[in-house]
């Protein structure tokens, strides 16, 4: 039996796009807002598109915060995507709601500069700060992925950064990783072969842990 991957549904996500990416690498994801299904799953994916406050409000209204916290604490592989990364932090300059607080730090807005666009939109090159992490296996050093964001995460603990990206003169966090917790600011499901490799690397980790 293949490992089960729960894709959390809170009406803020590119759920079907994320699922297609997982399916392309051989996974069988299930979109769900069921606490029981999230608890039973071997891994959890939290996608997200939109604004910070509505996202955390909807997670709380569906009683999904504790299941997400428990999933991460249990050691099962967890992947946050875009807004699904940002809500993991304590607070955001985009809104007033407290975040989930799983990662210490704040979500910040890009500083305006004469020659940059906000939102940061399009393809940009990753700089790996945890170059040997599972997510980056079989990727070239100049890997480019697709971003759409006006805000970026600024974690208190610098060692949790797994990759950065530079926009104008600002170098910001593009991905975080700590033990079983992984999350990316970019959209791997929209990042062509590089993105599919990242998703495949996550699924491989899930399958390896599931089989152990």
19 in active site: no
Which of 19, 120, 167, 189 is catalytic? The answer is 189
Residues 147, 188 contacting (CB under 8 angstroms): no
Which of 120, 149, 167, 187 is catalytic? The answer is 187
Torsion of CA 60, 62, 66, 70, to 10 degrees: -140
Residues 145, 126 contacting (CB under 8 angstroms): yes
Which of 82, 120, 149, 167 is catalytic? The answer is 82
Contacts 24+ apart (CB under 8 A), 56-61: 56/87, 56/97, 56/98, 56/99, 56/100, 57/97, 58/10, 58/11, 58/12, 59/10, 59/87, 59/100
Residues 89, 103 contacting (CB under 8 angstroms): yes
Would you give the DSSP letter of residue 111?
Answer: P
Q: Return d(Cα 193, Cα 197) in angstroms, integer.
A: 6
Residues 76, 202 contacting (CB under 8 angstroms): no
120 in active site: no
Could you give the residue numbers annotated as active site? 82, 187, 189
């Amino acid at each position: 039996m293949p490992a089960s991957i729960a894709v959390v549904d809170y009406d803020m996500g590119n759920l079907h796009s994320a699922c297609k990416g997982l399916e392309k690498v051989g996974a069988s994801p299930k979109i769900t807002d069921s606490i029981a299904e999230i608890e039973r799953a071997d891994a959890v994916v939290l996608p997200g598109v939109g604004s910070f406050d509505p996202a955390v409000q909807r997670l709380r209204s569906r009683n999904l915060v504790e299941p997400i916290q428990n999933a991460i604490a249990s050691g099962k592989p967890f992947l946050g995507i875009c807004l699904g990364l940002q809500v993991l932090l304590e607070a955001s300059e985009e809104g007033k709601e407290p975040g989930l607080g799983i990662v210490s730090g704040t979500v910040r807005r890009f500083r305006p500069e004469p020659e940059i666009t906000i939102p940061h939109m399009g393809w940009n090159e990753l700089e790996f700060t945890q170059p040997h992490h599972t997510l980056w296996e079989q990727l070239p050093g100049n890997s480019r992925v697709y971003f759409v964001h006006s805000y970026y995460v600024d974690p208190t603990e610098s060692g949790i950064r797994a990759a950065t990206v530079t926009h104008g003169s600002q170098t910001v966090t593009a991905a975080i990783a700590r033990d079983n917790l992984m999350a990316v600011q970019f959209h791997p499901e929209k990042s062509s072969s590089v993105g599919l490799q990242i998703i495949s690397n996550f699924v491989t980790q899930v399958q390896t842990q599931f089989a152990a």
